[in-house]
């Protein structure tokens, strides 16, 4: 006979259990390196975009914060990593990635106070404004950022002093995959913690969240700051694997693309950003091969089709994978529950 | 008399409209206190002022002697002031288990823990189970809240408020909208509230008020009209006038 407390424990731990489909996903990600050895560059690009989208999913999918300026943190991470390498301040890439991501984290913390105030539309405008502001600053301080030319002559030291970046992008791919996997594990741990649960509560109903004792603003500041770290890490990866950092790291298109990635992949189950990144880049690649001049038109058409399909239907589709992953949670094999006390 | 919750000269204005007028209420420790009044008397505004959803224009609120007037909603919960909502305010996508877990985690100061997995602390699991069992929610603990029957959702409203282990509990029309078949469960739950918790019940249903309360305050146009034991209030001609007036208007 299972006691109620044991049943509570089983149900509460269920969502954090690894599902075979998740394991298969990561094996497939690793296997792609061996299946498509000539496509390291685009696969690395997908990994970076996936990490960047994971960052937006943390605030949008879990805490309900919309942003059209997430490139601000990506850009700070990108320029941070570029400047650290260019001036030889921190040459080891992993350490440099951490430092650059922490710079983005600091920006995330400072700007979070502006973002948590107000509702969706205000948040869209504030986030957009911050990214545009940074882009303008990066252009203005061209002696540091290289202005419209970007940072020139970035040379990367070997990762951990052992693995030299190669011209085919193989090391860059494995490095990006490792960073994505580690940060994904961390995010997975966080969303299945009491902190993660409180974020979902805030997204569901902020009024009630406060009424159960959750300090709503403080939690939103925390997750926004965390997401800035992830976006900064994605930006740093971008610079480290492409040896480029130019003004477009802050661009509106970069932030907007990210929303499209999450529209395609879905939010609130962590894999949405990763799956969306794969689909988005493959669509982009496919359309630009078919119609090099009009690929944006077709991407636009797909998105309109996705949106017109309807929010409800779309939601069902994007929930297919997460529901499949969590289906076993609904009916775990448990014995009868012995009540501890008579509720009447 | 030890006072659990007290308001002193509480005022709330919306523009030129005075919704709460110099309200001074005292809820005794362990009391079963009811706040009644006709529609539009400002009862829900009082709850919103007490819980910090609204800030008063003047006056003070004391919880067990401590001034909580300037505190945020969540800080008042931590001090021991919990509430239910007249219209369900639940987490539609979460389960009852997760909903109760939120209240328990915050009470224990573990809500900000971003590392430990849910369900790995036996004492927390036991406390969640106890809260679910108290209101007969064990059988639906892992269902999505939005799919629960309305009566179960009302019970969850009460369960999550109690899970915060409040010193003072504000019940805002707990039986509102509940079908007759599920009403008894709510009434039983209200009757079985822990005796050491002081309760302020806001209710339209006079049967429930008179079966539950040991003290009643009558609110009319934001001001206190009468306060006293149920039989005294029931006999008061001013109360009769207010309710009969409302009945003849309606």
SS3 assignment, position B17: strand
pLDDT at A297: 87
Q: How confident is the model at residue A291 (pLDDT cuts 50, 70, 90)?
A: confident
Q: Does A206 touch chain B (CB under 8 A)?
A: no
* CA–CA min distance A4, chain B (Å): 6
DSSP-derived secondary structure letter, A323: H
| A270: its two tokens | 């962590």
In A, minimum Cα distance to B103 occurs at A212
A332 pLDDT above the threshold of 70: no
The conformational region for residue B239 under phi > 0 = left, psi -120 to 50 = alpha, else beta, is alpha
CB B76 within 8 Å of CB B51: yes
Residues A276-299: what's their mean pLDDT? 89
Residue A315: which pLDDT band, with cuts at 50, 70 and 90? low
Nearest-CA distance from B49 to chain A in Å? Answer: 13
**Per-residue pLDDT, A149:** 87
Asked if B155 contacts B137 with a C-beta cutoff of 8 angstroms, the reply is yes
B142 and A329 within 8 Å at the Cβ level: the answer is yes
What is the C-alpha separation between A208 and B23, in angstroms, rounded?
26
Cβ contacts of B241 within 8 Å, gap of 6 or more: none
Q: What confidence tier does A78 reach under pLDDT thresholds 50, 70, 90? A: very high
**Which of A60-64, A173-177, A328-332 has the lowest average pLDDT?**
A328-332
**How many CA atoms are closer than 13 Å to the CA of A288, on its beta-carbon side?**
7
Residue of A nearest to B106 (CA): A213
pLDDT of residue A310: 58
Residue among A178, A288, A286 at smallest CA distance from A233: A178
Q: How far apart are CA B39 and CA B41, in angstroms?
A: 6
Q: Model confidence at A341, in pLDDT bands (50, 70, 90)?
A: very low
| Whether A184 contacts A270, CB under 8 Å | yes
Cα B48 to Cα A158, A326, B188, distances in angstroms: 60, 38, 26
Average pLDDT, chain A: 89
- Amino acid A300: pLDDT: 84
Of A273, A271, A296, nearest in space to A283 by CA: A296
Q: Which residue of A has its CA nearest to B110?
A: A194
Nearest CA in chain A to B105: A194
Direct distance between the N- and C-terminal alpha carbons of chain A, in angstroms, rounded to an integer? 22
pLDDT at A312 over 60: no
Q: Which of A193, A213, A330 to mutate to test the interface with B (most CBs of B within 10 A)?
A: A213
Partner B contacted by A219 (CB < 8 A): yes
In the three-class reduction of DSSP (H, G, I as helix; E, B as strand; rest coil), residue B185 is classed as: helix
Cβ atoms of A65 and A126 closer than 8 Å: no
User: Which ranges in chain B belong to alpha helices (H)?
Assistant: 43-51, 73-79, 96-107, 122-134, 150-163, 180-191, 206-212, 230-235, 237-249
Is A197 in Cβ contact with B102 (below 8 Å)? yes
Task: Note whether B115 contacts A189, CB cutoff 8 Å.
Answer: yes
* pLDDT at res. B178: 86
Cβ of A12 and B128 within 8 Å? yes
- Interface contact flag, B113 A193, Cβ < 8 Å: yes
Question: What does the block give as tokens for A154?
Answer: 């970035």
How many angstroms separate the CA of residue B135 from the nearest CA in chain A? Answer: 6
Contact A8 B125 (CB under 8 A): yes
Q: Are residues A214 and B102, on separate chains, in Cβ contact within 8 Å?
A: yes
- How far, in Å, CA of A16 to CA of B119, rounded? 10
What span, in angstroms and rounded, lies between the C-alpha atoms of B147 and B153? 9
Contact A194 B105 (CB under 8 A): yes
Chain A residues touching residue B107 (CB < 8 angstroms): 213
**pLDDT tens column, A79-122:** 999 999 999 999 899 999 999 999 999 999 999 999 998 788 89
Name chain B contacts of A329, Cβ cutoff 8 Å: 142
What residue ranges of chain B have pLDDT lower than 70? 244-250
Give the per-residue pLDDT at A317: 66
pLDDT of residue A316: 67
What is the structure's pLDDT at B250? 40
Nearest CA in chain B to A191: B114
Contacts of B90 in chain A (CB under 8 A): 205, 208
Query: Residues for chain B: how many in total?
Result: 250
Q: Region A176-198: what's the mean pLDDT?
A: 97
Q: What pLDDT shows up at residue B218?
A: 95
Place of tokens 């239907």: A313
What confidence score (pLDDT) does residue B22 get? Answer: 95
Per-residue pLDDT, A168: 87
CA distance B2 to chain A (A): 25
CATH code matching the domain that covers B3-249, chosen among 3.40.605.10, 3.40.50.300, 1.20.120.420, 3.30.830.10: 3.40.50.300
Tokens of A286: 């496919």
Buried residues in A65-98 as b, exposed as e (16+ CB within 10 A): bbbbbbbbbbbbbbbbbbbbbbeeebebbeebbb
Say whether the ipTM exceeds 0.85.
Answer: yes
Compute the distance between CA of residue A62 and CA of residue A84 in angstroms, rounded to an integer.
32
Residues of A in contact with B132 (CB under 8 A): 4, 8
> Quick check: A318 pLDDT over 70?
no
How big is chain A, counted in residues? 344
**What values do phi and psi take at B165, rounded to 5?**
50, 65
Burial state string for B194-220 with b = 16 or more CB within 10 A and e = fewer than 16: eeebbbbbbbebeebbbebbebbbbbb
DSSP state of A245: B
A340 part of contact set with chain B, CB < 8 Å: yes
Closest CA in chain B for residue A328: B142
């Amino acid at each position: 006979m299972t006691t109620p407390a044991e049943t509570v424990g089983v149900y509460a731990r269920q969502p954090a259990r690894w599902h075979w489909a998740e394991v298969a996903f990561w094996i497939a990600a690793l296997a792609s390196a061996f299946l498509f050895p000539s496509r390291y560059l685009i696969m690395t690009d997908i990994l970076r975009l996936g990490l960047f989208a994971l960052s937006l999913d943390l605030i949008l999918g879990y805490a309900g914060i919309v942003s059209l300026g997430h490139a601000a943190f990506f850009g700070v991470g990108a320029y941070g990593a570029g400047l650290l390498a260019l001036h030889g301040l921190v040459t080891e890439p992993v350490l440099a990635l951490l430092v650059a991501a922490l710079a983005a984290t600091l920006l995330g913390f400072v700007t979070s106070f502006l973002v948590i105030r107000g509702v969706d539309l205000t948040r869209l405008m504030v986030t957009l404004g911050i990214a545009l502001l940074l882009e303008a600053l990066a252009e203005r301080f061209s002696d540091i950022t290289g202005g419209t030319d970007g940072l020139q002559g970035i040379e990367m030291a070997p990762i951990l002093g052992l693995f030299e970046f190669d011209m085919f992008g193989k090391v860059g791919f494995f490095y990006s995959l490792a960073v994505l996997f580690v940060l994904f594990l961390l995010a997975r741990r966080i969303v299945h913690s009491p902190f993660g649960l409180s974020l979902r509560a805030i997204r569901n109903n902020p009024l009630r969240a406060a009424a159960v004792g959750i300090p709503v603003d403080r939690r939103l500041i925390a997750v926004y700051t965390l997401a800035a770290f992830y976006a900064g890490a994605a930006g740093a990866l971008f610079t480290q694997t492409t040896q480029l950092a130019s003004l477009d790291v802050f661009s509106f298109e970069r932030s907007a693309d990210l929303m499209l990635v999450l529209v395609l992949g879905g939010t609130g189950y962590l894999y949405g950003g990763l799956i969306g990144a794969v689909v988005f880049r493959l669509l982009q690649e496919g359309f630009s091969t078919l119609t090099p001049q009009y690929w944006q038109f077709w991407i636009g058409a797909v998105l309109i089709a996705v949106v017109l399909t309807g929010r409800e239907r779309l939601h069902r589709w994007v929930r297919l994978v997460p529901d499949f992953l969590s289906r076993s949670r609904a009916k775990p094999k448990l014995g009868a529950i012995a009540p501890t006390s008579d509720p009447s | 008399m030890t006072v659990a919750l007290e308001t002193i000269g509480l005022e709330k204005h919306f523009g030129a409209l005075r919704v709460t007028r110099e309200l001074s209420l005292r809820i005794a420790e362990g009391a079963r206190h009811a706040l009644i009044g006709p529609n539009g008397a400002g009862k829900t505004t009082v709850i919103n002022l007490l819980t910090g959803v609204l800030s008063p224009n003047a006056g003070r609120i004391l919880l067990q002697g401590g001034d909580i007037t300037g505190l945020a909603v969540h800080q008042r919960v931590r001090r021991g002031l919990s509430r239910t909502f007249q219209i369900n305010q639940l987490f539609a996508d979460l389960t009852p288990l997760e909903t109760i877990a939120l209240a328990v985690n915050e009470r224990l100061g573990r809500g900000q823990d971003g590392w430990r997995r849910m369900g790995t602390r036996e004492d927390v699991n036991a406390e969640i189970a106890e809260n679910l069992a108290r209101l007969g929610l064990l059988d639906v603990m892992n269902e999505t809240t939005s799919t629960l029957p309305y009566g179960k959702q009302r019970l969850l409203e009460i369960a999550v408020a109690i899970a915060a282990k409040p010193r003072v509990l504000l019940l805002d029309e707990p039986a509102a909208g509940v079908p007759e078949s599920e009403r008894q469960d709510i009434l039983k739950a209200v009757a079985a509230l822990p005796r050491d918790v002081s309760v302020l019940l806001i209710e339209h249903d006079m049967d429930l008020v008179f079966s539950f309360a040991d003290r009643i305050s009558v609110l009319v146009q934001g001001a206190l009209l009468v306060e006293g034991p149920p039989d005294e209030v029931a006999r008061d001609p001013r109360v009769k006038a207010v309710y009969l007036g409302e009945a003849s208007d309606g």
